[in-house]
Each structure stands twice: as structure tokens, then as C-alpha cells.
């Protein structure tokens, strides 16, 4: 089931959201337009899987999406049907604001009513969009035919394994729903019937196999039919607290809109990365959601290092990018000192880092002699990762959300 939506502007000052919903449950005639508003959008997004929001001028995307949706309909004639839906965003600007649409074109992916962090960023072409939908139609769960397969799984990836008595069950349907949402973050496997029996003990169960040959398995202890519990547990296991930033995902991380705490390290320096992950989990777990914890390859990200007057030979280096300025953690060797890394982040939130870069140490942090001889500090380096945000040559950037 697929829903494609895009924002439309024409010569009039009205913006619309057009949506193709591909589903076996709803089969209106070709060309029928369904209006979406605050009253029905939740029901539609939760019913149709997956869904794409696409923002762009209709002259370009309207014929492309129409042809792509026709291709999808031809390939899945028994289970899909294309539908357009439209939102007048002058009247329903809350919808655009709710889904953080700040540029044209934008293609946002939804599953089971949840907006995925990863947008569609491929080509705006019939072939590319149709291929993307084909990928979304692929079952994310691989069936296990023999338990011996477990010993050969790739331990460099995070893996979730479900053991079920039967496929046609509420337990498996919940597992399937979670797997569809987190398909890009974990490998999902499932065994059924006699194959799964040795691992089921008294009932169905789900386990997580972390990365690493010697890492112990973790067992899900909650209700297998409770989607919220299952999703929260699986997300916690599949989405690492410290993520790697690359040129491929930099734009989407930037669009999350929260500052970066970054460890720059050599690719083979796994020791520094492991210690950084441990300290982030120990000191900063309460800050999750207010700052992104990331690590970056020193050689690939030489340019941001130059902004803070560092080179790959200086790595490992810890820095904050606030999207205005970059701030370097003073002494890398101190990051494991209890509370040091946390205070660095708190000083960002309080404005202390910015203030001290402009005016030197706060009076409470300096001696009378330092206060007497204090010079105004130079400006901190400008943000480097902000440059990974959407390009104005590729998108129409909305300067003010009220425009929507």
C-alpha cells in the first residue's frame, strides 16, 4: 500500500498537497482527488503504507508522479490503486508545519502513520520514483528455513530475530509492522513452526543480536502484540545512540534541526569511538533529543576540521556544531572525566560557549588577575555542517514557516 503526496503551487497563491494512495482497500476511479485536512490526514496516513509527501511545483512533478503511479498500478494490478489527494495549505498550514516541510521539493516517507527520518532524496524521475516504491514493497523480513542459518548471519550488522509458532498471528503482525518501519536500521529474520520450536520454549519470542561476534543476545520481555512497546524496544536496539555522519546522510541529519556533538576519529581508531560511545551513554543519555551524537571519519571530513584549525593528524577530536558556530572540546583526554562531556553540552545550551568565545571566560570562572587582563576573544568558527543542509540550487527554501 503506497501513498504519494506533493505540494502544488500554480499561478495562484494557493499551495496544495497531491497524494496517490496505492491500496487494495480503496479503489476510486482514475483521476479522483481526495482532500486531506487536519480531520482526516491521521486516518489516511495510518491506513496507507508507505506514504510519500512531495513538495514541488506541479508543472514538473505532476506528470512524473502520474506516470510513476501508473507504472506501479500496472505492476501490482491486484492490490494497488492510485489516488490523488489535495490539501489547501493556505487553509491548513498546520499540516505543513506539523511535518516540518520547509523546502520544495520534499518527499517524506510515512509508515503506519509515522514519519520516517529518511526522506526520498533520489532523482525526480518516473524510473527512480517507481524503483523506490518497488523497494518499499519488498518484504523486510527474511524467513529462516533452518536454525543453522543463525550461525552464519553477518555480525557486523544489528539483527532482530523473531521465533513464532505461526505466521498468521497477532504476534507476527506486530513484528512485521515494526520491521517495516525500521527496515533501514536492522536486519529482520523470522522462523516459524517446527523450525522455531527449539527457540520458542513456552511461547513466541524476539531476540536482538548486537554487532560483534561475542556480543550477548538480548531478549524482548514485553508484550509481542503491543506495538508501542515492541517498536520502542526495537528502535532502541537498532538505532545507535552515536551515529556515523557521512556525505550521504548529512543532509537528513542536518534537517533534524538539533546541534551535533561529533567525534572526529581515524577510521581504524575503534578504541576512541567505543570510549566515546560509553561516555555519551554514561553522561549524556538525558540529552538525547536535544543534540545529535555523531562520529565522523577524519579523512573524509577534513574541511570541518580545518574550520576549527585541526587536521586529521590531530584526531581524535571532539567538537560541537551548533549550526551557527563550531566549538572544540578543550582536551580530548578529559572527555572520560565524570561530568566533563556533559558540562560541555550544557554550556552550549546555556549560551556559555558562545559567550566565552566572544568575551572570554565568564567572571565566575576567572581569577581577578585574569579579569583585569582579559581580552575580548575572537569569534568562534562558523558552522561547517550547516553547509550540508538543503541547497538553494536544488530546493526552494521556505524562509518563514508562516508562508505555508
pLDDT digits (tens, 9 = 90+) for 102-118: 666 667 777 777 877 77
3-state helix, strand and coil shares in percent for the chain, rounded to the nearest 5: 35, 20, 40
Residue 398 forms part of a structural domain: no
> Would you say residue 83 has pLDDT above 80?
no
108 versus 12: which is more confidently predicted? 108
Q: What is the mean pLDDT of residues 203-212?
A: 94
Specify burial of residue 366 (Cβ count, 10 A radius: 0-12, 13-18, 19+): middle
Higher pLDDT, residue 295 or 57: 295
Answer whether 62's CB lies under 8 Å from 3's CB.
no
Name which of 170-179, 336-345, 374-383, 392-401 the model is least confident about: 392-401
- Among 180, 204, 238, give the residue marking a domain's end: 238
pLDDT reported for residue 242? 95
Domain end (from 72, 106, 137): 137
Cβ contact 53:108 at 8 Å: yes
pLDDT of 50: 54
> Cα dist. 2→30, 137, 387 in Å?
16, 9, 33
Residue 46 has pLDDT above 80, yes or no: no
pLDDT category of residue 144 using cuts at 50, 70 and 90: very high
Same domain, 220 and 96: no
SS3 state at 192: strand
pLDDT at 266 over 80: yes
Crossing angle for the helix pair 270-283 and 340-350, nearest 10 degrees?
A: 70
Beta carbons of 227 and 177 less than 8 angstroms apart: yes
In this predicted structure, which of 32-41, 66-75, 123-132, 329-338 has the lowest mean pLDDT? 32-41
Confidence of residue 261 (pLDDT cuts 50, 70, 90): very high
β partners of residue 33: 84
- Is residue 401, in this structure, part of any structural domain at all? no
54 part of a folded domain? yes
Are 247 and 352 found together in one domain? yes
Domain shared by 151 and 265, yes or no:
no
Q: Is residue 188 in a domain? A: yes
Average pLDDT, the chain: 78
Could you say which of 189, 219, 238 is where a domain stops?
A: 238
Asked whether residue 152 falls in the same domain as residue 201, the answer is yes
Cell numbers given for 30: 482514475
For helices 352-359 and 340-350, angle between their N-to-C axes, nearest 10 degrees: 80
| C-alpha triplet 372, 373, 374: angle, nearest 5° | 95
How many CB atoms within 10 Å of residue 328?
A: 21
Domain membership of residue 372 (yes or no) is no
- Based on the domain organization, do 131 and 181 belong to the same domain? no
In this structure, what DSSP letter does residue 294 have? Answer: E
Q: Let me know whether 113 and 174 are in one domain.
A: no
Same domain, 225 and 321: no
What is the extent of the structural domain holding 147? Answer: 141-238
How many domains are there within the chain? 3
Q: Is residue 97 predicted with pLDDT exceeding 90?
A: no
CATH code of the domain containing 213: 3.40.30.10
| 53 in any annotated domain | yes
Q: Are residues 160 and 67 part of one domain? A: no
| CB 130 within 8 Å of CB 82 | no
pLDDT score recorded for residue 118 = 75
State the Cα–Cα distance between residues 290 and 278, nearest whole angstrom. 18
Is the model's pLDDT at 78 over the cut of 90? Answer: no
* 154 within a domain of the structure (yes/no): yes
Residues 269 and 383 reside in one and the same domain:
yes
Distance CA 349, CA 16 (A): 37
Cis-peptide, bond into residue 316, ω within 30° of zero: yes
- Looking at residue 104, its pLDDT comes to 62
Q: Is 354 exposed, middle or buried (0-12, 13-18, 19+ CB in 10 A)?
A: middle
90 shares a domain with 54: yes
* Residue 247 and residue 382 in one domain: yes
The residues, any chain, with a CB within 8 Å of residue 50's CB and separated by 6 or more, are: 1, 2, 3, 109, 110, 111, 116, 136, 180
- pLDDT value at 168 more than 50: yes
Looking at residue 361, its pLDDT comes to 73
> In Å, what is the CA distance from 351 to each residue of 275, 293, 355?
27, 19, 6
Residue 350 has pLDDT above 80, yes or no: yes
pLDDT value of residue 270: 93
Residue 146 lies in a domain: yes
Shared domain check, 58 and 181: no
Amino acid at each position: 500500500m503506497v501513498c504519494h503526496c506533493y505540494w502544488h503551487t500554480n499561478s495562484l497563491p494557493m499551495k496544495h498537497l497531491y497524494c496517490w494512495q496505492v491500496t487494495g482497500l480503496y479503489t476510486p476511479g482514475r483521476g479522483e482527488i481526495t482532500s486531506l485536512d487536519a480531520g482526516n490526514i491521521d486516518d489516511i496516513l495510518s491506513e496507507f503504507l508507505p506514504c510519500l509527501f512531495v513538495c514541488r511545483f506541479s508543472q514538473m512533478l505532476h506528470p512524473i508522479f502520474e506516470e510513476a503511479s501508473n507504472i506501479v498500478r500496472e505492476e501490482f494490478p491486484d492490490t494497488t490503486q492510485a489516488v490523488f489527494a489535495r490539501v489547501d495549505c493556505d487553509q491548513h498550514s498546520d499540516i505543513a508545519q506539523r511535518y516540518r516541510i520547509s523546502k520544495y521539493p520534499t518527499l517524506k516517507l510515512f509508515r503506519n502513520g509515522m514519519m520516517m527520518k529518511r526522506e526520498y532524496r533520489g532523482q525526480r524521475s518516473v524510473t527512480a520514483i517507481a524503483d523506490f516504491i518497488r523497494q518499499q514493497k519488498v518484504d523486510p523480513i527474511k524467513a529462516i528455513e533452518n536454525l543453522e542459518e543463525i550461525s552464519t548471519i553477518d555480525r557486523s550488522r544489528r539483527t532482530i530475530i523473531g521465533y513464532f509458532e505461526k505466521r498468521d498471528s497477532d504476534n507476527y503482525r506486530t513484528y512485521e509492522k515494526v520491521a517495516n518501519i525500521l527496515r533501514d536500521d536492522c536486519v529482520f529474520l523470522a522462523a516459524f513452526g517446527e523450525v522455531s520450536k527449539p527457540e520458542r520454549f513456552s511461547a513466541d519470542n524476539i531476540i536482538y543480536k548486537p554487532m560483534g561476534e561475542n556480543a550477548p543476545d538480548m531478549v524482548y520481555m514485553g508484550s509481542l502484540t503491543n506495538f508501542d512497546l515492541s517498536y520502542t524496544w526495537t528502535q532502541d536496539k537498532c538505532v545507535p545512540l552515536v551515529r556515523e555522519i557521512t556525505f550521504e546522510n548529512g543532509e537528513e541529519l542536518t534537517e533534524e534541526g538539533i546541534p551535533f556533538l561529533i567525534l572526529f576519529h581515524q577510521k581504524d581508531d575503534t578504541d576512541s569511538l567505543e570510549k566515546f560511545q560509553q561516555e555519551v551513554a554514561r553522561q549524556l543519555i538525558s540529552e538525547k533529543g536535544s543534540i545529535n551524537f555523531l562520529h565522523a571519519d577524519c579523512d573524509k571530513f577534513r574541511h570541518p576540521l580545518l574550520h576549527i584549525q585541526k587536521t586529521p593528524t590531530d584526531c581524535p577530536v571532539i567538537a560541537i556544531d551548533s549550526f551557527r558556530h563550531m566549538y572544540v572540546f578543550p582536551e580530548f583526554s578529559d572527555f572520560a572525566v565524570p561530568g566533563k562531556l556533559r558540562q560541555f553540552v550544557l554550556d552550549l545550551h546555556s549560551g556559555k560557549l558562545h559567550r566565552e568565545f566572544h568575551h572570554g571566560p565568564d567572571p565566575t570562572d576567572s581569577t581577578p588577575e585574569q579579569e583585569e587582563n582579559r581580552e575580548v576573544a575572537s569569534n568562534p568558527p562558523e558552522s561547517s555542517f550547516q553547509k550540508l543542509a538543503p541547497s538553494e540550487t536544488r530546493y526552494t527554501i521556505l524562509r518563514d514557516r508562516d508562508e505555508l
